Structure 1
Amino acid sequence: MNTRPIYTTAEIRKIESLVLSVPHSPPLMEKAGLAAAKVAHTRLLTDDKQRILILAGPGNNGGDALVAARHLREWGRQVTLVLTGEAERLPQDARQALEQWQSAGGTVIPELPDGGQWDAAIDGLFGIGLNETRLLAESYRQLIRQINQLNLPVLALDIPSGLLSDSGRVPDVAVKAAITTTFIALKPGLLTHDGCDYCGEIVVCDLELDVAALIPPQNWLLDRAGIVQRLPSPRRANSHKGTYGRLGILGGATGMIGAALLTGRAALKLGAGRVYLGLLAQDDVPVVDPVQPELMLRSPSDFFNPDFLEGLVIGPGFGSEIAACICLERALQTCLPLVLDADALNLIAQHTELSSALQARKAPAILTPHPAEAARLLNTSVTEIQRNRLEAARNLARKFNCAVVLKGAGSICAFPNGHCHFNTSGNPGLSSAGTGDVLSGFLGALLVQGLLPENALLLAVYLHGAAADVLLKQQNGPLGMVASEIIPAARNLLNCWIEEENPGW
């Protein structure tokens, strides 16, 4: 499948070590610096904008910046180079890059000059070496604040300085990049959490390495190319509503009926043949959904007949009353594919017997937690979940032997075998009530139409975000986007994708 691999810091270090252990191995720093210079030369600078500020730090990231500076100067650009590290303490390759820069007539200054005027900047202060135990010193935090205040388009080398490569967390301050040129392969921190706000456009320069042959990846990018082969087949003329599955949705306790209705509407519009709602509300339960009368309202007790349904979504507006616990317990005992969302996850976190029942299931289940729900399921804090979203998603998948999407900026889909996919679609417009309920409806619809759980999860998550991206353009921004708008946008997109992949079917 045409998807791009993602590697952790430890894996990148291992790749570098494998490359350097080969006699006459390629000069990675030279290749990285040249690649960065080309991006700056063509994307940030023009005939009228020649002046570039380059910041080189005390490690190999600074060496990449020194190489880039040398090439840009050779190409006629006006380079101001700030070297924050001591020359004699630079790593060997970086020291050699400094000597080559100076031999070519370049000079260095130790700090950002007052009153300087530039058209763009390159951030080569720190790369992937920062982590939870090695954070920025105050002098570097102050320098990064100064860089951000210049309001220049910044090209970050490998990863914006201050952003943690494995988690995407910014403990204090980070460079706000317009473009990030990342070397060898993508890193998790570029794609999730704070990384979504700091990296700008990401350009991968693989330095002519076949990284997947060196270390088989465990993590991949989820993008349009990654979901093409996961699409449902085009519908045949000789089919009927029974061909496309019977989905049940349990939820909608008193005061929260809307959540279950959103889920049901989403499931219908994404192609489920029949959708049944089992509402837990005791008062004011509608006999029909006036917006979507095709939804069939039934008593929750009907949902556990083994021949009635082919899949079940539990949790939207579910509540935490005893009736909800009983329904969830019965659902976990069935052989139906399940989508567990919202209050269903909270109940599993609260009750060990429900957690054990989920872990013991043989039939597939998909969990859809946001960070707070993930923290409850793993008995930790939201801070710890966000400190390493990749590890949290992987731990959830292994603990419950389920497919999981850890929602948030750069949602992560994880599977029990340890494989993870980072979603690239979506925008802040999804930060509104009900969008998670819509995602659950998409998941349920795809499951009952026969998609494998992995394919259903990856397609639903990417489609959900892509529909929001369509709305973002139509509405000129994310403000005021609501969950119900996502549904028709997703239906249209999915039909378009299926048609594009099967022209003339």
Structure 2
Amino acid sequence: MTLLDSANIASPLYSIAELRAIEQAASQTLPQGTLMQRAGQAAASHALKILHGLESGAGGHMRVLVLAGPGDNGGDALEAAAHLAGSGIEVLVWQAPEARATSPEREQALSRARNSAARLITADAGSASALAAVHAAPWNLVIDGLFGIGAARPLAGECREVALHVNQLACPVLALDVPSGLQADTGVVDGVAIRASHTLTFIGDKPGLHTGDGRDYAGEVDIAGLAIDPLLLAPANAQLNGLHLFARHLRTRRHNSHKGSYGSLAVIGGAQGMAGAPILAARTALHAGAGRVTIAFPGPPPAFDSGQPELMCRRADGVDLSGLHFSALVAGPGLGGSIDNADTVELLQRALDSDSPLVLDADALNLMAAEPELQSALALRAGVTILTPHPLEAARLLDLTTAEVQADRLAAARQLAAQLNVIVVLKGSGTVIAAPDGAVVINTSGGPALATAGTGDVLAGLCGSLLAQGWNEWDAALGAVWLHGAAADALVASGAGPIGLTASELIPALRKLINALAG
């Protein structure tokens, strides 16, 4: 499945609480242990698919290590072990020290595993023999069923030791539901987690697999719905980003149109020594389709942009920022972040007073964090607003630490969106887009190629360009974030990255992608 194919599939994201409610409702109409048996069968089928994709050893003999924890996640793993052993796979089940049957369903799964050809060993606390068995053999696949979505504490003791060993192996690792040690709601790893190459998640997708540490630990994510009645799947408050959410705006342009048909954008920024930031944003806006783009510099402007002479470079104090002249504004790239500069604060206040749709980025966010009156003006402004903070900028606005923001990225984005009555784009691995009403979307395009100076300016310019062309603020935020990441992915696929990719390289790649999608 290509990126474009996957981006057209709706994918709701469920919290642990929502999944528990769905599971409980489904269990009331099914025989005891049905969901665990379905999970085990799905896990075994997925494991066989992975194994079939590998180059077999001598005689095609395959060896699988199954890690079984004490709860239902361990029961899923035991069911999978029994199925795999019945398929002729050599299976070793390593049971955690506290892995005693905690439910009738898990007792049944344990019995089936014991009655299969799988070999079971239980790790007694302080005993090295079970760990030695794990270390002794080369494995073709490891199945992680230590701890699922209900894990409430970091991996410790023998489980931690096994996780560290598994993370050193070269073979594929299949995590069941979530990689052990990764928080399903937040994507946070507290200490040690198993780094999976594949995750088969049950019933519904989880936010933590796609943001924060999740993208490094979950690997390729697939969903096993376990044949749950669709009527039991309540609408989720979060989902993954994709083309299906904004594709209606990407359409072929009419012949009978002109530059005024595609909006006018002003990019406000470019203090002394930082002119590159608004130039990147403005060039992006032009290449993304805005009909006319002006850069409003707080100080004396350059005569023109030699790399993009179509851009108009003007001094901000002579620019009318009202909606009569501009379809949208972008404020902040290279603006300068000192509240001691009264002219800069006044310029930002003028942008806030405008009724044009507004994107606030970079130094505009730092000025707002330092000046409560600017935040008050933002919360009351009539025009729509999109904020594009990185975690530190969000932390300043929320009066939190960066660590606190990253500890629950969805909650932080929701809080900021509600507090300021704006759309928030919380950048980072698995960028979070949040609306004031609590709706949240997680973006999965892009990657480490974007971890370089100037890519945030490109994103801000792209977002402003879509607003100027008439996109509503929610769709503009979703579209800009996804397109920004997808353009970077295309460059990486062509060999231009991820190491050393530059922000300016994204601009023609974005134009190419937008035209391909609109054609």
TM over 0.5: yes
**1:441 and 2:457 are equivalent in the alignment:** no
Residues 361 and 460 in structure 2, CA contact (< 8 A), matched pair in contact too:
yes
* Counterparts in 2 of 1:272 and 1:84: CA distance versus 1, 3 Å: same
- For structure 1, which runs of at least 5 residues remain unmatched after alignment? 500-505
* Alignment of 1:71 onto 2:91: no
Between the aligned partners of 2:182 and 2:230, the Cα distance in structure 1 is 23
Q: Is the 8 A contact 1:251 1:318 kept in 2?
A: yes
For residues 194-246 of structure 1, what are the alpha-carbon distances to aligned partners after superposition, in whole Å with 9 as ceiling and x for unaligned?
A: 111111111111112255753211101113444433x3332111100111101
One of 326, 333, 356 as aligned partner of 1:309: 326
1:130 is displaced (CA, Å) by: 2.3
Report the Cα offset of residue 174 of structure 1.
1.1
Q: Which residue of 2 aligns with 1:370?
A: 390
Say yes or no: does 1:396 pair with 2:396.
no
TM-score (norm 2): 0.92
Contact 2:33 2:105 in 1 (8 A): no
Question: Hey, what's the Cα distance between the residues in 2 that align with 1:403 and 1:210?
Answer: 34
Q: 1:425 aligns with which of 445, 453, 464?
A: 445
Q: 2:103 is matched by which residue type in structure 1?
A: P
- Which amino acid is the alignment partner of residue 485 of structure 1? E
Structure 1 residue 458: Cα displacement: 0.6
Residue 138 of structure 2, aligned match among 95, 112, 117 = 117
Match runs of 1:346-385 below 5 Å: 346-385=366-405
**Corresponding residue to 1:137 among 126, 149, 156:** 156
DSSP 3-state at the match of 1:29: helix
CA distance in 2, matches of 1:316, 1:295: 16
Match of 1:10 in 2: 17
- Say yes or no: does 1:97 pair with 2:109: yes
Measured after TM superposition, the shift of residue 135 of structure 1 is 2.2
Residues 1:459 and 1:306: Cα distance change in structure 2 (over 3 Å): closer
Q: Shift in Å at residue 498 of structure 1?
A: 1.0
- Specify the alignment match of 2:5 in structure 1: none
Choose from 248, 265, 274 the match for 1:247. 265
Deviation readout 1:260-290 (Å, 9 max, x if unpaired): 10010000000000101101235xx311000
Q: Secondary structure at the match of 1:277?
A: strand
- Against the structure 1 CA distance between its residues 18 and 85, is the aligned structure 2 distance closer, same or farther, given a 3 Å change threshold? farther
Deviation at 1:94, TM superposition (A): 1.2
Quote how far apart the aligned CAs of 1:25 are: 7.5
Aligned mates of 1:388, 1:39 — CA distance in 2:
30
How much does 1:150 deviate? 2.6
User: Of 204, 209, 231, which aligns to 2:228?
Assistant: 209
Which whole-Å CA distance do the structure 1 matches of 2:231 and 2:412 have between them? 24
Residues 64-104 of structure 1 show CA distances to partners (whole Å, capped at 9, x for unaligned) of 00000011011111101111144544332112100122133
Alignment partner for residue 415 of structure 1, among 419, 435, 454?
435
Is residue 2:235 matched to residue 1:220? no
> Would the aligned equivalents of 1:184 and 1:211 in 2 still touch at CA under 8 Å?
no
Which residue number in structure 1 is paired with residue 254 of structure 2?
A: 236
Judge conservation of contact 1:255–1:281 (CA < 8 Å) in 2: no
Provide the TM-score with structure 1 as the length reference. 0.94
Instruction: Determine the C-alpha separation between the residues in 2 that align with 1:248 and 1:119.
Output: 56
CA distance in 2, matches of 1:208, 1:96: 20
The one-letter code matched in structure 2 to 1:63 is G
1:278 and 1:303 in contact (8 A); partners too: no
**SS class of match (1:304):** coil
Pick the aligned partner of 2:349 from 326, 329, 332.
329
Offset from partner CA, 1:143-200 (integer Å, 9 cap, x none): 2101112322111101111111111111211111111101111111100111111111
The answer to whether the Cα contact below 8 Å between 1:413 and 1:422 also exists between their aligned partners in 2 is yes
Alpha carbons 1:442, 1:460 under 8 Å: kept: yes
Structure 2 equivalent of residue 298 of structure 1: 314
| 1:27 Cα offset (Å) | 1.1
Deviation at 1:22, TM superposition (A): 2.9
1:23, distance to aligned residue in structure 2 (A): 5.4
Are the structure 2 counterparts of residues 289 and 86 from structure 1 closer, same or farther at C-alpha, using a change threshold of 3 Å? closer
The verdict on how the C-alpha distance between 1:98 and 1:476 changes in structure 2, with shifts beyond 3 A counting, is farther
Name the CA shift for 1:312/1:235 in 2 (closer, same or farther; >3 Å). same
How far apart, in 2, do the equivalents of 1:210 and 1:477 lie? 43
**Residue aligned with 1:303, SS:** coil
2:481 to 443, 461, 471: 461
Q: 2:182 aligns with which of 163, 166, 182?
A: 163
Paired position in structure 1 for 2:73: 61
2:49 alignment counterpart:
42
Report the residue type matching 1:56 in the other structure: A
Aligned length, in residue pairs: 494
1:32 has 2:48 as partner: no
Separation in 1, partners of 2:32, 2:328: 54
The corresponding residue for 2:92 is 80
CA shift in 2, pair 1:270/1:56, >3 Å: same
2:112 match: secondary structure:
helix
In 2: Cα distance, 1:491 partner to 1:478 partner = 19
- Give the partner amino acid of 1:52: V
Note the residue ranges of structure 2 that are not aligned, 5 or more in a row. Answer: 1-7, 123-129
Residue by residue over 1:305-344, the C-alpha shift from the partner in whole angstroms, topping out at 9 and shown as x without a partner, is: 4421111000000102322210111111121100000011
One of 469, 493, 499 as aligned partner of 1:473: 493
Determine helix, strand or coil for the equivalent of 1:152: coil
Q: Does the residue aligned with 2:120 lie in a helix, a strand or coil?
A: coil
Supply the distance in 1 between the matched residues of 2:22 and 2:278 (Cα, whole angstroms): 48
Displacement of 1:129 after TM fit?
Answer: 1.4
RMSD between aligned residues: 1.7
Moved more, 1-10 or 244-253: 1-10
Q: Among the aligned pairs, what percent are the same residue?
A: 47
Q: Secondary structure at the match of 1:108?
A: strand
Per-residue CA deviation, residues 38-64 of structure 1 (Å, 9 max, x unaligned), is 011111346525111111011111000
| Structure-2 change in CA distance of 1:345 and 1:246 (3 Å) | same
2:149 paired residue among 124, 128, 136: 128
Distance (whole Å) between structure 2 residues aligned to residue 305 and residue 204 of structure 1:
48
Does the 8 A contact of 1:18 with 1:214 survive in 2?
no
* Residues 5-34 of structure 1: per-residue CA shift (max 9 Å, x gap): 001111111111111233548811111111
Match of 1:281 among 291, 299, 305: 299
Q: Is the 8 A contact 1:427 1:465 kept in 2?
A: yes
> Do 1:167 and 1:387's aligned partners in 2 also have CA atoms closer than 8 Å?
yes
The AA in structure 1 aligned to 2:198 is: I
1:186 corresponds to which of 199, 205, 208 = 205
> Within 1, Cα distance between the matches of 2:292 and 2:98?
69
